[in-house]
């Protein structure tokens, strides 16, 4: 009985090792499987949900969907986002809270995606960019809403 | 037809005609020494590049591809970098032993080169106990490793060196037994005799299953003896940073690195000599035409082809198998390889006595 176990041990070990060698041998002979992307030379293919940085979506009329509700600012775990609000005065004379500046500190951001999840109007999203290095740290503090942009009509 | 034997004979006669015999012998020593050093440098460059390329393709990567054509000069650049680096000696180290160790490892690798026939009649020293000499000298390299580990005054180095010692001493046994099983068939320890006995077929084909088993055991044992994955406990990057050569830098590190690859070349050429017929071309039975075509390939090409095939197999092991734990490593040797190779030796003796081999 002992001898039978011993021999079956050896047999199974050899079999599993050969299975592994078949796999690596397959990769060695099939170069089309190579997943390396030669980054500066070729255009890199990023996954759809790659989280590069937070951007605000603007349409062709330079309008965004941010209501200035500060849900993202509250959701952010390390104070990356700072919302500055202002009061718009409508033609009827009614005051309405609106976004003035969306300050985004890229140097603090951990790309956790919580702000995107928290946003009730889908005004912000994660971009696919990743080449963030700059020579001056202050360049990492960004204003996400474009100058002169305003909230899209109908977004509450 | 080109043959290295002709070149050596020409140099020998020319030197003997030009100088007196003593001086000619001295010149021959110098030439042989220089060729061995050149071979080492070339082997280091080629094998490291080969390893990096093989590992890359096996891991679905590209490997070095920037320096030279498709990265072919990468190892030259690496060597230049190493040559320019400072060779630090740690403060608490045993200075003499620390600086001696890489040379011990290197000299051992050089000594084993002596009985290896690189082509027909192209051999430095055809001594009558060639195989015994190789297995005896190769075990001296463990002293170099232990020396390096002890002299570094570093826990990791010492651990790596002790592991390496346990490993090499254990695996020497099964490597020796599988060598003996071929010696049983040939009845001679002389390497030229062993090769000559494979004139009509290599031992791996002629010796039936026992030869195949001892070939597999030999490959496993020499992988362990050269401290390569899956038996690279002595270096074990993830556990011991770099094992016995943690504290080495610059050219002293390069010597260890080079010795590792030269050792792979040496054990693979021993494997090729014993099991795959050394420089003997592939002959199949009575196919006269096929055999004649095979004879036209120079013997040096046959030898190098076989050696590089074995090196590729060992690299294939390295990039496929996970590293063994120290107790698993010793279990494998003492509970599996050693009993199997002893039983295999008995079987081989029976085959040799009954004349069952071809």
The predicted-structure confidence for B21-77, as pLDDT tens digits, reads as follows 888 888 888 888 888 888 888 888 889 888 888 888 888 888 888 888 888 888 888
Both tokens assigned to B260? 């590792």
Q: Which chain A residues are Cβ-neighbours of B61 within 8 angstroms?
A: 34-36
Kindly report each contact of residues B334-339 with a partner whose C-beta sits within 8 Å and lies 24 or more positions away, as own/partner: B334/B170, B336/A10, B337/B171, B337/B174, B337/B217, B337/B220, B337/B221, B338/B173, B338/B174, B338/B177
- Percent of chain B residues past pLDDT 70, beyond the cut: 97
Find the closest chain A residue to B339 by CA distance: A6
- Binned at pLDDT 50, 70 and 90, residue B10 comes out as confident
Question: Is the separation of the CB atoms in B113 and B231 below 8 Å?
Answer: no
Q: What is the pLDDT of residue B358?
A: 65
Tens digit of pLDDT at every position of chain A (156 positions): 788 888 888 889 889 989 988 988 888 888 877 788 888 888 777 888 888 888 888 888 888 888 888 888 888 898 888 888 888 777 777 777 888 888 898 888 888 889 889 888 888 888 888 888 889 988 888 888 888 787 887 777
Residues B81 and B142: their CA atoms lie apart, in Å, by 28
Do B321 and A17 lie within an 8 Å CB cutoff?
Answer: yes
- How close does chain A come to B21, measured CA to CA in Å? 53
Residues B65 and B72: their CA atoms lie apart, in Å, by 7
Residues B109 and B106: their CA atoms lie apart, in Å, by 5
Q: What is the ipTM, given to two decimal places?
A: 0.72
Q: Which chain B residues are Cβ-neighbours of A33 within 8 angstroms?
A: 60
Q: Please count the CA atoms within 13 angstroms of the CA of B68 that sit on its side-chain side.
A: 10
pLDDT at B2 over 70: no
Q: Which chain B residues are Cβ-neighbours of A12 within 8 angstroms?
A: none
Q: Which chain A residues are Cβ-neighbours of B336 within 8 angstroms?
A: 10
Do B57 and A17 lie within an 8 Å CB cutoff?
Answer: no
Which one is the CATH code of A54-150: 2.60.40.3080, 3.20.20.70, 3.90.1300.10, 3.30.70.3270?
3.30.70.3270
- Binned at pLDDT 50, 70 and 90, residue B7 comes out as confident
Do B60 and A10 lie within an 8 Å CB cutoff?
Answer: no
Q: Is there a cis peptide before residue B230, judged by omega within 30 degrees of 0?
A: yes
The predicted-structure confidence for B117-146, as pLDDT tens digits, reads as follows 888 777 778 888 888 888 888 888 888 888
Do A38 and B336 lie within an 8 Å CB cutoff?
Answer: no
Do B58 and A28 lie within an 8 Å CB cutoff?
Answer: yes
pLDDT at B153 over 80: yes
Q: What is the pLDDT of residue B187?
A: 83
Q: What are phi and psi of B322, to 5 degrees?
A: -75, 155
Residues A74 and A83: their CA atoms lie apart, in Å, by 10
Show me where the domains of chain B are located: 90-354
Output A120 or B233, whichever has higher pLDDT.
Answer: A120
The secondary structure element, H or E, covering residue B150 is: helix B141-151
Which of A17, A23, A36 has the CB atom closest to B61's CB atom?
A36
Q: Please count the CA atoms within 13 angstroms of the CA of B310 that sit on its side-chain side.
A: 29
Which of A24, A35, A36 has the CB atom closest to B58's CB atom?
A24
User: What is this structure's pTM?
Assistant: 0.81
Give one DSSP letter per residue of A13-73, joined into a string: HHHHHHHHHHHHHHHHH-GGG-----TTTS-----TT---EEEE---TTSEE------HHH
User: End-to-end alpha-carbon separation of chain B, Å?
Assistant: 31
Q: What is the pLDDT of residue B1?
A: 58
Do A36 and B62 lie within an 8 Å CB cutoff?
Answer: yes
Q: Which chain B residues are Cβ-neighbours of A36 within 8 angstroms?
A: 60-62
Do A27 and B321 lie within an 8 Å CB cutoff?
Answer: no
Q: Which chain B residues are Cβ-neighbours of A25 within 8 angstroms?
A: 58, 316
Do A10 and B336 lie within an 8 Å CB cutoff?
Answer: yes
Q: What is the pLDDT of residue A135?
A: 92
Instruction: Output the average pLDDT for chain B.
Output: 84
Do A20 and B59 lie within an 8 Å CB cutoff?
Answer: no
What integer is the mean pLDDT of B211-219? 88
Q: What is the pLDDT of residue B183?
A: 87
Do B316 and A28 lie within an 8 Å CB cutoff?
Answer: yes
Mutation target vs A (from B60, B63, B66; most A CBs, 10 A cutoff): B60
Q: How far is CA B14 from CA B26, B107, B121, in A?
A: 14, 30, 18
What integer is the mean pLDDT of B284-295? 76
- How close does chain B come to A35, measured CA to CA in Å? 6
Q: Which chain A residues are Cβ-neighbours of B58 within 8 angstroms?
A: 24-25, 27-28
pLDDT at B315 over 80: yes
């Amino acid at each position: 009985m002992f001898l039978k176990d011993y021999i079956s041990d050896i047999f199974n070990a050899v079999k599993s090792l050969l299975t592994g060698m078949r796999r690596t041998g397959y990769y060695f002979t099939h170069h089309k499987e190579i997943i390396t992307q030669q980054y500066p030379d070729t255009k890199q293919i990023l996954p759809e949900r790659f989280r590069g940085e937070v951007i605000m979506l603007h349409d062709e009329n330079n309008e965004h969907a941010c209501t200035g509700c500060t849900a993202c600012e509250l959701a952010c775990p390390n104070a990356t986002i700072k919302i500055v609000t202002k009061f718009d005065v409508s033609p009827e004379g009614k005051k309405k809270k609106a976004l003035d500046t969306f300050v985004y500190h890229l140097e603090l951001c951990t790309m956790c995606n919580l702000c995107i999840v928290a946003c009730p109007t889908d005004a912000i999203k994660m971009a696919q960019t990743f080449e963030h290095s700059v020579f001056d740290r202050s360049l990492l503090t960004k204003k996400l809403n474009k100058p002169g942009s305003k909230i899209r009509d109908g977004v509450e | 037809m080109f043959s290295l034997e002709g070149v050596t004979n020409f140099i020998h006669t020319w030197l003997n005609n030009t100088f007196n015999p003593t001086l000619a012998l001295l010149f021959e020593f110098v030439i042989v020494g220089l060729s061995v050093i050149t071979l080492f440098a070339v082997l280091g460059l080629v094998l490291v590049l080969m390893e990096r390329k093989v590992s890359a393709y096996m891991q679905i990567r590209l490997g070095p591809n920037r320096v030279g054509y498709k990265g072919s000069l990468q190892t030259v650049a690496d060597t230049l970098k190493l040559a320019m680096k400072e060779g630090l000696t740690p403060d608490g180290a045993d200075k003499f032993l620390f600086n001696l160790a890489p040379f011990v490892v290197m000299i051992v690798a050089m000594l084993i080169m002596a009985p290896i026939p690189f082509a027909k009649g192209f051999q430095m020293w055809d001594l009558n106990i060639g195989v015994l000499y190789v297995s005896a000298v190769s075990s001296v390299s463990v002293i170099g490793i232990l020396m390096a580990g002890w002299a570094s005054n570093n826990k990791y180095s010492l651990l790596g060196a002790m592991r390496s010692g346990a490993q090499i001493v254990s695996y020497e046994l099964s490597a020796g037994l599988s060598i003996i099983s071929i010696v049983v068939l040939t009845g001679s320890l002389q390497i030229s005799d062993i090769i000559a006995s494979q004139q009509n077929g290599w031992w791996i084909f002629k010796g039936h299953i026992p030869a195949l088993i001892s070939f597999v055991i030999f490959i496993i044992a020499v992988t362990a003896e050269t401290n390569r994955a899956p038996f690279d406990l002595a270096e074990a990057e993830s556990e011991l940073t770099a094992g016995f050569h943690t504290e080495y830098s610059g050219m002293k590190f390069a010597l260890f690195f080079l010795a590792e690859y030269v050792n792979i070349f040496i054990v693979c050429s021993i494997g090729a000599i014993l099991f795959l017929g050394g420089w003997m071309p592939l002959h199949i039975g009575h196919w006269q035409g096929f055999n004649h075509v095979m004879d036209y390939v120079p013997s040096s090409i046959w030898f190098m082809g076989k050696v590089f095939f074995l090196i590729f197999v060992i690299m294939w092991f390295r990039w496929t198998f996970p590293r063994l734990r120290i107790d698993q490593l010793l279990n494998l040797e003492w509970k599996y390889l050693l009993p199997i190779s002893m039983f295999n030796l008995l079987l081989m003796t029976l085959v040799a006595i009954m004349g069952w081999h071809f």
